[in-house]
């Protein structure tokens, strides 16, 4: 699976932001057709996204489009308006049941067959952002092999349960954690919610590091200045890579001597630490 450390949102009706976002080195951009676009601008947004997909050079950045929710009545026009641009994947908001993804899966498979594209090539990322979504997160995570990531949406979730957002985020902690658990149980990536304070980069860094420690693979961005901070938080430092390599070397040497647990640099080491070190190396692309 490709790295998805930083995914940058922009309104789908804003060509300037799409072009700007395409050139920032984010792992992906999410061109929005849902809540970032006014109701009377949906059609303009579909046309803008379709044209951008064909004309803008995104380099290695993944080209994602956020649909309106399946069942909203807008999703069919969203697909019809953007498929021609052949996005790499769709981000599906407010997913509450596996049926919504199963419907999309069939719809996309039919398009892929009709257009001669490899079946299963259009990926899906599902946003879990309601009480029902959290309750059904396990079934949603297993809905289709097209699904590669679960995204946690804290603002909509808080609204749904009647919580008030705070900087500490305890009101969404259970849900945030449930998304990590469901994703891990089904081999999917987990991507953390947006950080809405556009000028507080220290706060963003702290929240991204917190998300990393919880097990998230990446975090959503909503402004260009957030991208580098998030990429940095989810990319291991050279010293961390060195430490992981030393730990694995020591583990292998002890295994050869028939020792499963051993002391290393002042700490007990056994299998879970080795797995963590291997994950860190994978994040570093090693």
Residues forming the active site: 270
State the residue number with the nearest CB to ligand COA: 36
Which of ligand COA, Mg ion, none sits in contact with 15, Cβ below 5 to 8 A by type?
none
Report DSSP letters for 95-135, one per residue.
--SHHHHHHHHHHHHHHHHHHTPPTT-SEEEEEE-SHHHHH
19 scored as a contact of Mg ion (CB under 5 A): no
Contact between 9 and ligand COA by CB under 6 A: the answer reads yes
Site for ligand COA in 105-134 (CB under 6 A): none
Cα separation, 111 vs 134, in Å, equals 30
Estimate the crossing angle of helix 201-214 against helix 224-233, to 10 degrees.
Answer: 40
Contacts of residue 158, defined as CB under 8 A and 6 or more positions apart, other chains included, come to 164, 165, 171, 172
* Mask for 31-60, x = binds Mg ion (CB under 5 A): ----x-------------------------
Residue 16 binds ligand COA, judged by CB under 6 A: yes
Question: Length of the chain in residues, anyone?
Answer: 286
CA dist 72 and 81 (Å) reads: 16
Q: Does residue number 8 form part of the binding site for ligand COA (CB under 6 A)? A: yes
Q: Does 87 bind ligand COA (CB under 6 A)?
A: no
Residues 35-74, interacting with ligand COA (CB under 6 A): 35-36
What is the rounded distance in angstroms from the CA atom of residue 67 to the CA atom of residue 227?
22
Rounded Cα gap, residues 49 and 83, in angstroms = 10
From 11, 81, 93, 98, residue interacting with ligand COA (rule: CB under 6 A) = 11
Contact of residue 223 among ligand COA, Mg ion, none (CB under 5-8 Å per partner type): ligand COA
Residue 148 burial (C-beta neighbours within 10 Å; 0-12, 13-18, 19+): middle
Closest of 67, 52, 62 to residue 18, by C-alpha = 52
To the nearest whole angstrom, how small is the minimum distance from the Cβ of residue 220 to ligand COA? 7
Spatial CA neighbour of 172 closest among 192, 149, 186, 142:
192
Q: How many residues bind Mg ion (CB under 5 A)?
A: 2
Q: Which of residues 184-223 bind ligand COA (CB under 6 A)?
A: 194, 222-223
Q: Which stretch binds Mg ion (CB under 5 A): 61-69, 105-113, 153-161, 254-262?
A: 153-161
Q: What is the phi/psi pair of residue 221, to 5°?
A: -120, 150
Out of 156, 171, 240, 270, name the contact with Mg ion by CB under 5 A.
156
Which of Mg ion, ligand COA, none does 123 bind, CB closer than 5 to 8 A by kind?
Answer: none
Residue 141: which of ligand COA, Mg ion, none does it interact with, CB under 5 to 8 A by kind? none
Other C-beta atoms closer than 10 Å to the C-beta of 163 total 15
Least separation, in Å, of the C-beta of 213 and Mg ion? 25
Contact positions vs Mg ion (CB under 5 A) = 35, 156
Contact positions vs ligand COA (CB under 6 A) = 8-11, 16-17, 20-21, 32, 35-36, 194, 222-224
């Amino acid at each position: 699976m490709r790295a998805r450390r930083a995914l940058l949102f922009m309104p789908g009706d804003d060509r300037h932001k799409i072009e700007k976002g395409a050139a920032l080195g984010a792992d992906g951009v999410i061109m929005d057709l849902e809540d970032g676009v006014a109701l009377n601008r949906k059609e303009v947004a579909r046309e803008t996204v379709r044209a951008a997909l064909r004309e803008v050079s995104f380099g290695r950045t993944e080209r994602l489009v956020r649909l309106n929710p399946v069942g909203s009545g807008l999703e069919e026009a969203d697909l019809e308006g953007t498929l021609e641009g052949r996005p790499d994947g769709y981000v599906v908001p407010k997913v509450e049941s596996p049926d919504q993804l199963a419907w999309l899966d069939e719809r996309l498979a039919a398009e892929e067959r009709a257009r001669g594209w490899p079946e299963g090539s259009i990926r899906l990322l599902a946003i879990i952002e309601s009480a029902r979504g959290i309750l059904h997160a396990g079934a949603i995570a297993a809905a289709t092999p097209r699904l590669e990531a679960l995204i946690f949406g804290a603002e909509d979730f808080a609204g749904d349960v009647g919580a008030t957002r705070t900087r500490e985020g305890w009101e969404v902690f259970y849900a945030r954690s449930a998304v990590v658990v469901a994703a891990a149980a089904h081999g999917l990536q987990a991507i953390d919610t947006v950080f809405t304070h556009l000028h507080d980069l220290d706060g963003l860094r702290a929240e991204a590091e917190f998300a990393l420690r919880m097990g998230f693979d990446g975090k959503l961005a909503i402004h260009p200045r957030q991208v580098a901070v998030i990429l940095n938080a989810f990319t291991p430092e050279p010293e961390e890579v060195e430490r992981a390599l030393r730990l694995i070397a020591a583990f292998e040497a002890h295994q050869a001597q028939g020792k499963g647990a051993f002391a290393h640099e002042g700490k007990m080491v056994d299998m879970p630490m080795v797995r963590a070190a291997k994950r860190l190396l994978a994040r570093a692309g090693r």
